Amino acid sequence: MIKAEMVKELRTITGVGMMDCKNALVETGGDKEKAITLLREKGLAKAAKKTGRVAAQGIVDSYIHLGGKVGVLLEVNCETDFVAKTPEFKEFVRDICLQVAATNPAYLNREDVPLDIVEKEKEILRGQALRDGKPEKIVEKIVSGKLEKYFQDNCLVDQLFVKDQDITIGKLLTEKIAKLGENMIIRRYTRFEIGEAQEDSPNC
């Protein structure tokens, strides 16, 4: 059995996300050293160490979809102009543009979701669980699970990649960091859709 303490220790050592650490421990039968090696082989530990480095280069890209009905403006940063000019970096940026155009995420990551909105969502989910007759002792677990789904639906980094539903945008970013050897940051984006600004302002 993989204990939470084992996962936390591996995360502290490698800087890799909790789920990746847990999966590595499961795959290696709980052997910490083998799990570290496995994460390094996958490039995840290497990528995690790079995320603290300054990323001030990069590109701003745009994407227009559906005959001019939807448009995206996106900034992605890396450490050097050399990497910014590589085909793989540009392809990654274009994929993120496509993701934003297709899914219209409300936030870049879960840390951007206002606390009052998170608390309101929890309240709604808790009320639903209680109305469904769920026992009090498991309500919080149900709320936590459904809140993860909320983040996955509404936060770009947590979303499943539209081109590969087996990975999230965050995981895709980590893989690119490991492969290109530089820290990369999805900095900001804006999505435009014809008519959306007029819904609340009929006189515009």
At 53-82, the pLDDT tens digits run: 767 799 999 999 878 999 999 999 998 999
Q: By the 8 A CB rule, do 111 and 157 touch? A: no
Fold of 4-50: Helicase, Ruva Protein; domain 3 (1.10.8)
In the chain, what are the domain boundaries? 4-50, 57-109+155-198, 114-153
Per-residue model confidence (pLDDT) at position 203: 41
pLDDT of residue 31: 87
- Residue range 145-169: mean pLDDT, rounded: 93
pTM of the model: 0.69
User: Crossing angle, helix 87-103 and helix 169-180, to 10 degrees?
Assistant: 170
Instruction: Write out the CATH class of domain 57-109+155-198.
Output: alpha beta
Average pLDDT (174-203) is: 80
Q: 114-153 — its CATH code?
A: 1.10.286.20
CA torsion sign, 160 to 149 to 188 to 199? positive
If one compares 22 and 197, the residue with the highest pLDDT of the two is: 22
